[in-house]
Amino acid sequence: MVTAFLLLAQYGGAAVISISLVCRDYCSHLTPEMLIRKISVGGIALPLVRIEASQKAAKGVHLVDPARWIDQRAEAARKECRQLCGAAYVEGGRAGGRVDKQVLGSLKAADFPTCQFRLAHARSHQRAVQR
């Protein structure tokens, strides 16, 4: 739900976000037409809102749908990081997830290039807790 509030602030309280804005901010590698095509064939799981039944009508997405999509993509990235980093992955960058200290101490940041920041952050947090 936090993502929805952030999008609400980002798009000035609009309930429906123009597809061109979504494309610009989150799918910059696509044109708006390509994004619409990917949504239409199910390549991207975003419900497309057509303001009228006309083909030329404005198209957009309801605010909660891109928020849900962003959250799903973030969760997929976290899952991938957990698989790559194993026990070294710390949710939210904090060692509150009870990381095994022996495992954490034996790992080197270079072993997991996609998680170097999280590993370094977890180690610094571990040192701060020990003091």
Same-domain check for residues 12 and 52: yes
Do residues 98 and 59 share a domain?
no
In this prediction, residue 38 carries a pLDDT of: 95
Residue 56, pLDDT score = 84
Average pLDDT over residues 77-101: 65
Question: What value does the mean pLDDT of the chain take?
Answer: 79
99's tokens: 């990381």
Is residue 107 in a domain?
yes
Q: Return all residues near 122 (Cβ < 8 A) that are at least 6 apart.
A: 88, 90, 93, 94, 95, 99, 104
Average pLDDT over residues 28-43: 94
pLDDT tier for residue 81 given thresholds of 50, 70 and 90: confident
The answer to whether 37 touches 46, Cβ cutoff 8 Å, is no
Residue 91 has pLDDT above 90, yes or no: no
Instruction: Assess whether pLDDT exceeds 90 at residue 86.
Output: no
Task: Give the total number of structural domains in the chain.
Answer: 2
Domain, as residue range, for 36? 2-71
Q: What is the pLDDT of residue 97?
A: 47
The pLDDT, as a whole number, for residue 83 is 84
Residue 77 included in any domain: no
Domain match, 54 and 98 both: no
Q: Is residue 84 part of a domain?
A: no
Evaluate whether 61 touches 22 at the Cβ level (below 8 Å).
yes
Q: How confident is the model at residue 127 (pLDDT cuts 50, 70, 90)?
A: low
Question: Residue 78's pLDDT is what?
Answer: 87
For range 47-64, the mean pLDDT: 91
pTM higher than the cut 0.75? no
Residue 81 inside a domain? The answer is no
On whether residue 118 sits in a domain, the answer given is: yes
